[in-house]
Structure formats: structure tokens, C-alpha cells
Amino acid sequence: MRRLEPAAITGVMSREVANFRSYWKSTTFSSVLEPVIYLVAFGLGLGATIVDRVDGLEYVEFVGTGMVATAVIFSSALPAMFGSFVKERFQRTYDAILAAPVDVEELVTAEILWISIRAGVYGCFPLIVSMFFGLDPSPGMLLVPLFCFITAFGFAGFGVATAASVSKIDQFSYVTTLVVTPLFLVAGTFFPIDELPEGLQAAANLNPLHHLVELVRHAAFGFELTDLLRVAALLVFALALWRLAVRLMEKRLID
């Protein structure tokens, strides 16, 4: 592995920051408002009418903490997929950057890093919103941005790897329908995993988002020893998808 130069990485990230200034309002607006809508619909609607308590938690608390994972996947996998594709194919931004002293590995790392930092922040919004609906703050919650960052790193890597693999932008529909939607629905956000049939439970344990959901709930209501394993699993996921993204983008960008 060649050396990753910090100057190259911060240079690429400075481009993202400059661009972010032109669209931060819209992304931040939806990142804040979406959990509010979900909490009102599920938390109050479902919680007040059908479900009372889940796993010993108020349904609003259950969904509010679970929503963090939803915010993370939607602010990492999707922007990475579409963003990389557009920058690579339509705007030729990557071509411009690679003509400067920046290698594909540094480019991809910077892209993933920036998205993960952003998702680390956006992931906290559902938690903050939930506090207005009655969730009590706790010191463990200070670790939530870090958990979100690690998970987002993996999903951003997934998005970049996907962008490097598809030939047309419409093919993203397959990925969102077959991968992103199931991952976010079967993560334990809206209903507990242990009510599912055994096969699906096993599958859910392979879902990084499920581990994030558990970590966030435990951050709010008390950690368990097995949480260390969950963090380790998320780190492996992040590392693996980062390397895959670098490899596939190198193949795509260098003839």
C-alpha cells in the first residue's frame, strides 16, 4: 500500500466542503425533518394505538433510538452512490482531481471520510429530536457520533464501490431495492429482531445497521459487554468496504 498523504486527502475534502456550502440547507433540512415525521407517524401513531412498549421501552424511545441507523445509511450509502457516479461520469471531477498529485486511493478515502463525518453528525439528529418526545439524555450517547461515523464509513465505501461497478445510473434502483431497503427495515429500528423467524434473525445479525441500532439503544439505556464485539464487527465492515471501494475505483478510473 502506498502512503496516504494527508495534504491530498484534505485537498479533496476541501472541494467537498466548498460544494457543501451550496447544498447544506436542503440536506440538513431533510435530515432533521425526516426523523420528526417518522417519530410522529410511528412513535405517536403506532405507539399510541397498537404498540405500547417494546423491549421494556416506550415505543417512541424504541423508534427514536433506532432511527439513528436509518439516518446513517441514508446519509452515507446513497450520497456516496449518486455523488461518486455523478462526479466520475457526468462532471468528470475525478478526472480533474487525478490529474493533480492525488492517487485514487487518496481520492476515495477523502470522499468516504467526508461522508462519514457528515453522517456522524446527521445520525445524532433523530436522537436530539427524540429528546423533544421524551427520550432522556445519557452520557453514553456521547459515543453515538463515533458509532455513526464507523458505520457510515462502511456504507460510504459500499456506495463508492457500487458507483464504480454499475454502468448506468438507473442500476442503482436494484441496489436500493435489494440491498438498502431490506437492510434498513430489518435492522431492529421499527420492531425487535428477536420476534423474527430464526433464519431472518441470523441474517439480521449480519446487518451492520442492526449492530448500530443496538449500540445506540445501549448508549441510551446501558451498555452490555457484547457491545465491544459489535464495535469490532462495524470496524471490520468499515475497513473491508473501504478497501473494496479503493480497488474498484482504481479499476474504473485508471485505464
Partner 1 sequence: MSRGVSEPAIQLRGVVKRFGPITAVDGLDLDVPAGICLGLLGPNGAGKSTTMRLLTGQAIADEGEIRVLEHELPKQSKEARALMGVVPQLDNLDVDVSVQDNLAVFARLYRVKDVRAAVDRGLELARLTGRRTDEVDKLSGGMRRRLLLARGLVHRPPLILLDEPTVGLDPQIRTELWSLIDGLRSEGTTILMSTHYIEEAQRLADEVAVMAHGKIVARGRPSELIAQHAGRETAEVYAPPARLAEVRATAESQGLRVRPAGPAIAIVGAERAANGAIPPEAIRRAASLEDVFVLLTGEEAE
Q: Find out whether 85 and 169 touch, Cβ atoms under 8 Å.
A: yes
**Toward partner 1, which CB reaches closer, 50 or 254?**
254
Q: Which stretch binds partner 1 (CB under 8 A): 20-28, 45-53, 183-191, 224-232?
A: 20-28
From candidates 39, 67, 97, 246, binder to partner 1 by CB under 8 A: 97
Q: How far apart are CA 221 and CA 209, in angstroms?
A: 18
From candidates 190, 210, 227, 255, binder to partner 1 by CB under 8 A: 255
**Toward partner 1, which CB reaches closer, 112 or 204?**
112
Asked whether position 253 contacts partner 1 by CB under 8 A, the answer is yes
Cβ 119 to partner 1 shortest distance, Å:
21
Cβ 62 to partner 1 shortest distance, Å:
39
Asked whether position 19 contacts partner 1 by CB under 8 A, the answer is yes
Which three three-digit cell numbers place residue 50? Answer: 397498537
Asked whether position 96 contacts partner 1 by CB under 8 A, the answer is yes
* Total of chain residues touching partner 1, rule CB under 8 A: 27
Contact positions toward partner 1, by CB under 8 A? 7-8, 10-12, 14-15, 18-19, 21-23, 91-93, 95-103, 253-255
